[in-house]
Amino acid sequence: MLGLPECKTRFSRRNDDTLGAILVHYLAGRERRFVTTHSQRIAPRQLRLCLWILTCLPIWAFGEAAVAQSSAASPAALTVAQDLAADANILRQSRIPMVILYSQADCAWCERARREFLVPMANEPGAAQRVMLRQVDLDRDTPLKDFAGRATTHRAFARAHKARFTPTLMFYGPDGGQLAEPIIGFRLADFYGTYIERSIDEGLILLRGKKS
In a shared domain, residues 53 and 118: no
Domain count, the chain: 2
Distances (CA, A) of 117 to 10, 98, 121, 133: 59, 15, 6, 11
Q: Residue 112 falls within a domain, yes or no?
A: yes
| Of 105 and 73, the one with more pLDDT | 105
User: The domain containing residue 120 runs over which residues?
Assistant: 84-208
pLDDT for 157: 98
Q: Is residue 184 part of a domain?
A: yes
Are 100 and 142 members of one domain?
yes
What is the per-residue pLDDT across 122-146, written as a single tens digit (0 to 9) for each?
Answer: 999 999 999 999 999 999 999 999 9
Residues 50 and 147 in one domain: no
Strand residues in 39-182 grouped as ranges (E)? 98-103, 132-137, 143-145, 151-153, 168-172
Distance CA(108)–CA(75), nearest Å, equals 10
Task: Tell me if 75 is assigned to some domain.
Answer: no
| Whether residues 88 and 129 fall in one domain | yes
Alpha-carbon distance 27 to 96, whole Å?
54
* Percentage, residues of the chain above pLDDT 70: 63
Q: Note whether residue 1 is domain-resident.
A: no
Contact present, 57 and 7 (Cβ < 8 Å): no
Q: What pTM was computed for the model? A: 0.65
